Amino acid sequence: MSNDNTFSIDDALVRKLAGLLDETRLTEIEYAWGEHRIRVTRQPSPVHAALGAAPAPMQAPAAAPAAAEDLSKHPGAVTSPMVGTAYLSPQPGAPAFVRVGDTVSAGQPLLIVEAMKVMNQIRSTKAGRVARILVEDTAPVEFGQVLVILE
């Protein structure tokens, strides 16, 4: 950037950010440095848009946020600390960390959330029984999303 307030876009950075969108299945990513920001977004795939356009599925998502809010208040809710991709097993083809009905101890790994190619173990916040697993393997997850319910 020169002193005459012109700004040039780094094509390589934009391409790298777009690649991260594809790898992480996110719909938006923003990168900031100093006073500058680059936001790269993409539209959801047409398959998802077509499913959302049908009258019956549009009613289901309206009920889902209320259920998600209730689950977030559950004392055994384990939430995602970041945006990423959930993996229920330590590696492809391996058994899942936990299954519904399993007894877990505090600190035991429940699943992995991959963010920016870093595998982050999500551990049990307390000892208990796995009552529900609310994500599927390789599903994208959002910050604060309830992943597992412990009882």
Q: What mean pLDDT comes out for the span 35-52?
A: 58
pTM over 0.85: no
- 140 pLDDT exceeds 70? yes
- The pLDDT > 70 percentage for the chain reads 76
Burial (0-12, 13-18, 19+ Cβ within 10 Å), 88: buried
Domains of the chain, start order: 11-41 (no CATH), 75-150 (2.40.50.100)
Q: Which residue has the higher pLDDT, 92 or 112?
A: 112
> Hunting for tokens 């094509």 — which residue is that?
11
CA separation for the pair 58, 55 (Å, rounded): 5
Name residue 5's amino acid: N
